[in-house]
């Protein structure tokens, strides 16, 4: 599987700096970080533990399910933090929820994922969770 290039959102500059300073420079490396290490990183350079946890959740969806970082971020906003959570999601309910979130976050600039796309993500998550 080809993972998306390592790029973190602009609002996470302090967290990106802390991760890079500690040799974490890829989605797989970030996905593997334990809670204790996130707490230590949060103490360095103004990084937020909550933001680091969200980024780790995003990384887990990127790595485990093969999503693009933006897709994983949308699912995080919808309350899906890992492949197990996505595997248990109801496609129709997730479609409605992500549609609302996408429109609120980007307006009409980016269309929300359609139902077949979400069903594909859920199927991939089920395979990854097994």
Write out residues in the chain with pLDDT < 70, as ranges.
Answer: 1-5, 45, 106-109
**Could you tell me if 55 and 30 are in contact, meaning their C-beta atoms sit under 8 angstroms apart?**
yes
User: Can you give the pTM of this predicted structure?
Assistant: 0.86
Task: Answer whether residue 4 is part of any domain.
Answer: no
Per the domain annotation, does 107 fall within a domain?
Answer: yes
Question: How many domains does the chain contain in total?
Answer: 1
Domain that holds residue 61: 10-129
In a domain, 82, yes or no: yes
Query: Is 5 inside a domain boundary?
Result: no
Is residue 85 in some structural domain? Answer: yes
**C-alpha distance from residue 71 to each of 11, 42, 51, 74, 117 (Å):** 17, 25, 17, 5, 11
- Look at residue 83 and tell me if it is in a domain: yes
**Contact indicator for 42, 56 with CB cutoff of 8 Å:** no
Please name the residue that has the structure tokens 């533990």.
Answer: 49
Residue 80 has a pLDDT of 92
Q: Comparing C-alpha atoms, which of 114, 118, 12, 110 is closest to residue 58? A: 12
Q: What is the pLDDT of residue 31?
A: 94
């Amino acid at each position: 599987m080809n993972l998306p290039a390592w790029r973190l959102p602009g609002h996470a500059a302090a967290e990106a700096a802390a991760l890079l300073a500690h040799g974490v420079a890829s989605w797989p490396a970030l996905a593997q970080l334990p809670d204790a290490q996130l707490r230590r990183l949060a103490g360095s350079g103004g990084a937020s533990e909550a933001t680091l946890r969200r980024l780790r959740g995003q990384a887990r969806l990127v790595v485990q399910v093969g999503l693009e970082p933006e897709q994983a971020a949308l699912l995080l906003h919808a309350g899906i933090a890992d492949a197990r959570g996505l595997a248990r999601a109801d496609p129709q309910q997730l479609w409605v929820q992500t549609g609302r979130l996408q429109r609120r976050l980007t307006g009409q600039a980016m269309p929300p994922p359609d139902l077949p796309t979400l069903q594909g993500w859920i199927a991939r998550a089920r395979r990854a969770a097994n």
